[in-house]
Amino acid sequence: MFKIRSRFVKEDDIIFISHLDLVRVFERAMRRGNIPISYSKGFNPHPIMAFATALGVGVSSQGEYIDIQLDKEVHTEEFKTTLNAVLPKGLKIIESKYISKDEDSLMSIISRSLYMVKFKITENIDFNVVHAAIDEFLSREEIIEEKEKKIKGRKYDVKIQRKNIRPNIYQMQLLSVEENTVILKMNLATGSVANLKPEVVVKKLKEDSLLPIDVESIRIQRLELYKEVEGQWVTPLDVLKRI
């Protein structure tokens, strides 16, 4: 048994498929490329592979990850070339490395994401005004997100859940304000312990700062996923136990 970890990009029209459809695309590519992927045992065997985190529909990425279990070893360059030849436009394997059998799963180690976020503002506002609004926004100890949650057993009743998302915003850097387009870089909590979506942050920024943000114009690109190793933030391919 061999396990291979790969970094891939997701862009163009393929960003509009769901995570479940993405899984199916990779399964089909494995078959078309005759990749010797391992299958689970039992009545309904399925390919053994796992993604780091699900990416929202409409979000592009330069740093997604997948672990795939193989029955026999394939050279990493051959694996990458073969898979790229059968993957649809918009999906491309960038790098692959073999990992040890006891390597922690991607889902369990990822805790941060780096994003590039763009959106329109409906008035002419210069860089300094937007920068000041973001500084004030981040200076708060609490940034409260409110969600409606249905009460189990009560068809029409909901309760409001309030959550402080400020601890999950690690960085929010204003890069530019040009032609009413704002570009930000965000470093946010991602994973099973805490998870924060960039669009939630932008909507709260609009609500709390009164910046005239067109939330329908939000465009998001994930740049990278990170795990923590001895106090340092590294990608899932940076530090691996070798076989």
Question: 109, 130, 151 — which closes off a domain?
Answer: 109
Tell me the pLDDT tens digit for each residue of 112-126: 999 999 999 999 999
Note the pLDDT of residue 127.
96
168: in domain: yes
Note the pLDDT of residue 153.
62
Residues 55, 153, single domain; the answer is no
- Using a pLDDT cut of 90, give the percent of the chain over it: 79
Across the chain, mean pLDDT equals 92
- List the single range of 45-49, 97-101, 158-162, 180-184 with lowest mean pLDDT: 158-162
Buried/exposed 60-69: b ≥16 CB within 10 Å, e otherwise:
bbbbbbbbbb
What gap in Å lies between CA 68 and CA 169, rounded to an integer?
A: 31
Residues 124, 220, single domain; the answer is yes
Residues 134, 156, single domain; the answer is yes
Of the chain, the end-to-end C-alpha distance in Å amounts to 11
Note the pLDDT of residue 161.
85
What gap in Å lies between CA 226 and CA 17, rounded to an integer?
A: 24
Q: How many domains does the chain have?
A: 2
Note the pLDDT of residue 241.
42
234: in domain: no
14: in domain: yes
Amino acid residing at 195: N
Confidence label for 243 from pLDDT (cuts 50, 70 and 90): very low
Question: 92, 109, 126 — which closes off a domain?
Answer: 109
237: in domain: no
Domain extent, residue 36, equals 2-109
Note the pLDDT of residue 152.
66
Backbone angles phi and psi of 86, in degrees to 5? -115, -10
Tell me how many helices (H) and strands (E) the chain has. Answer: 5, 11
Residues 31, 42, single domain; the answer is yes
State pTM to two decimals. 0.90
In this prediction, residues 148-160 reach a mean pLDDT of 70
Spatial CA neighbour of 149 closest among 163, 139, 128, 169:
163
243: in domain: no
240: in domain: no
Tell me the pLDDT tens digit for each residue of 169-204: 999 999 999 999 999 999 999 998 899 999 999 999
Provide the token pair at 174: 């204003």
164: in domain: yes
**CATH code for the domain in which residue 224 is found:** 3.30.70.3190
242: in domain: no
